[in-house]
Each structure stands twice: as C-alpha cells, then as structure tokens.
Amino acid sequence: MSDEVPYDISVEVVVDAPDVDVDALYRLAAEVMAGESVEPGTSLAILITDDDEIRRLNAQFLRIDEPTDVLSFPDEPGDFVEAVPGEPHLGDIAISIDTARRQAEQIGHPLAAELAHLLVHGILHLCGYDHVNSPEEEAAMRAREEHYLGDLGHLHCH
C-alpha cells in the first residue's frame, strides 16, 4: 500500500507557531478530500495565519471587518491563492491560529484538535456542505465532521 497522497495540498504557516503539526494537517486534509470523493490530482491551499490577516481577508472577500476562526474560498478568479490554469483546485482555506488558540482554551481541548476541526469544517464547505441555511444542512455537515473527527458534542458550533 502506497503512502502517496493523490492530492496537491499545500500547508503554509505564516506565523510563529512551532506547535502546529503541518504533517498532521496535511494527512487530515488528504483523508477528508478522499472521503468526500474529491478528484485525484486536485489541489488545496491551507494558510495558517493570525487574527490581523484573517480579519483583512474577511473584510476583503466577505465584507465582514472582524477576525474569524476559518475562511473557505472555493476556486474562483481573484481569490487569494490563484490556481494553476487547467488543473483542478478545490479552493483555499485560511485558519487564524490566534482564534484557534482561544477557542481551544475555552473548550478545554488541545490546539491540534481545534485546528483539525477547523480544517475539516473548511474542507466540507469547499465540498458543498453548509450549516447556515437549515437545521438539516447543519446536521448533515456536523455528521460529516464527526465522521472524520469523532464525537464533537462538546465543541462549539459554527
């Protein structure tokens, strides 16, 4: 059995965060993409940044001038990471390490667990799941999160 991942996943940490396990995020992203039947060869860009940068992205792309925990951008022209023309690109995910740290502390679980939840949440958005339109959609998305992460009963909802 090969350990080769059939996806082009980039994880960029642009802040001082030595406690971020980039390899674990990479493996989790590949697992979720495979589990959601994302076409092999598809790329995904993951950015681990701070509250200032995620606030800037949130204001620029969603017109919400405040930091958030995770942003997901499907592959579209003019987004913050341009895909290689002609190659499939699922999209871009930005995660604020500052907000993730605060949420992990509030919930009382490790930063790694919070980052995993935010990453899975972001990928599921890129795969078409949502949680704001109806309780049924929220339940379906939560079920997929729990499929990858286990019981999330104690975690915050998005």
Q: Which residues are annotated as a binding site for Zn(2+)?
A: 121, 125, 131
Tokens representing residue 88 in the block: 């499939």
Give the number of other CB atoms < 10 A from CB of residue 109: 15
Please report, in range form, the residues annotated as the binding site: 121, 125, 131
**What contacts 80, CB < 8 A, 6 or more positions away?**
47, 57, 61, 73, 92, 94
3-class secondary-structure state, position 61: helix
Half-sphere exposure of 140 (CA within 13 A, CB side): 13
Q: Are 40 and 66 in contact (CB under 8 A)?
A: no
